[in-house]
Amino acid sequence: MIISVGRKKLIVIGGGAAGFFGAINAAEKNPNLDVTILEGSRRLLTKVKISGGGRCNVTHSCFNPRDLVKNYPRGEKELLGPFSRFQPEDTIAWYESRGVKLKTEQDGRMFPTTDNSDTIVKCLLSAAQKNDIQIKKGMLVKSVVFKDNHQFLVQTRDGEFIGDYLLLATGSSPIGYAIAKKLGHEIIEPVPSLFTFQIKSPLIDELMGLSFPEAELSMVPHHADPQPKKKFKPFSFKGPVLITHWGLSGPAVLKLSAWGARELAASNYKASLTINWVNISNKIIFEKILERKNNLPKQSPRTRTLDPLPKRFWLRLLDVVGVDESSCWSDMSHQKIQDLSNLITHTNLDIQGKGEFKEEFVTCGGVNLKEVDFRSMASKINPNLYFAGEILNTDGITGGFNFQNAWTTSYIAAVHLSTLQK
């Protein structure tokens, strides 16, 4: 069975954020364009629904494109132009014009004021319906063929579709990568990004839940080759860190995993990690501890923590350097004070594997960016083929940046599509 879609037909493969946003804007800007979304599963906008703990982290309050691109480990250079045309300010305006207001939280993340991702889902579904976009669920694409007449033949389990233009917005789905490759594109091997670290150490075992708002982390991935030709560079970030039952999490950890994603994959997720738990110099910490000893010689070091360390962590540090409950500050030798300050500002831990950051499912890798025109999001290889979102070798850190990439790239594609054969 062949379902003919005629001329001026856009087929969007992928019923997620990028697919819906591209379809809606293309239909709105060119009413003569007949738009169909093909989604392989029975569920639409899955990531939108579950992101941000079910609240949907729509974007981030970063309104300078040059600052915005710094949040993308891959795609920083390429996304500058698109973000100059459609950035978080435009995303906010787009949703507000459709009755959805966004709010900004202290860390810059932006959510619908309802704190409910269904608000975003309903907005996108309503806009698609208003623009007569056909939505085909359960249409798992088996293959795409670019025909001699410059049309695409899309074969699914339940039929075939013919379109003049094709927008690939399949996220990190292997199906999307396979289609892009069949249509002539190089796929940079996808590997996970945005994940937590598995670490076993007596220093942090059974301290899950403790947080450190101003930590400084430095990581060097290990080489699988004992004699590598080139050393891995260190990656460093500052920010909140959280001890979990499997190791470490928090924004600083996720940033390290994002920027070091490919090197960590090459090292089988083995790396050396150095932490300054308080982001204060060793000299200042040493002086603070020495001051405590001089002012409170008869008091037990275990009575009161050294701010800003959590009490339970302070007690664990004292255990590690050998300060028991019978000790007083006057008993603390110069060397033990130095050992304690070193442990606070220079803890060495071994990363033994990766955990999951289940709400994001972000990967680095995808369609080679050199093969895409970021002025239009069109393929440089295959006429009338467009890309949007995570199928590209672009990825952002946590905080709404991956959704903004989806909104922006799909919008740019839609704008270009609207100029064709009106």
Res 6 pLDDT > 60: no
Locus of tokens 């990028």: 18
Judged against a pLDDT cut of 60, whether residue 387 lies above it is answered with: yes
- Between the alpha carbon of residue 182 and those of residues 26, 38, 175, the distances in Å are 25, 18, 11
Q: In this model, does residue 338 exceed pLDDT 60? A: yes
Cis peptide bond prior to 310, omega within 30° of 0: no
Report, as an integer, the average pLDDT of 252-275. 95
Which residue do the tokens 């083929």 mark? 385
Percent of the chain with pLDDT over 90: 91
Distance CA 239, CA 255 (A): 9
Burial (0-12, 13-18, 19+ Cβ within 10 Å), 71: buried
What is the predicted pLDDT for the residue at 383?
87
Q: Is the dihedral of CA 195, 200, 204, 206 positive or negative?
A: positive
Q: What is the mean pLDDT of residues 35-55?
A: 96
- Give the side-chain half-sphere CA count within 13 A for 328: 7
Question: How confident is the model over 30-44, as a mean pLDDT?
Answer: 96
pLDDT of residue 1: 39
Q: Per-residue pLDDT for 3 more than 50?
A: no
Confidence of residue 223 (pLDDT cuts 50, 70, 90): confident
Task: Kindly state the average pLDDT of the residues 390-413.
Answer: 97
pLDDT score for 149:
85
Which pLDDT score, from 0 to 100, does residue 2 have?
41
In whole angstroms, what is the distance from residue 17 CA to residue 400 CA? 12
Average pLDDT, the chain: 94
pLDDT band at residue 229, thresholds of 50, 70 and 90? low
Q: What is the pLDDT of residue 214?
A: 95
DSSP string of 33-46? Answer: -EEEEEESSS-SSH
Binned at pLDDT 50, 70 and 90, residue 7 comes out as: low
Residue 228 has a pLDDT of 65
pLDDT score of 78 = 98
* pLDDT bucket at 5, cuts 50 / 70 / 90: very low
The mean pLDDT value for 115-119 works out to 98
- For range 261-266, the mean pLDDT: 94
Q: Give me the pLDDT at residue 4, please.
A: 41
pLDDT at position 357 is 61
Averaged pLDDT for residues 320-334? 94
**Range list of H helices, 64-135:** 65-68, 76-85, 88-96, 118-130
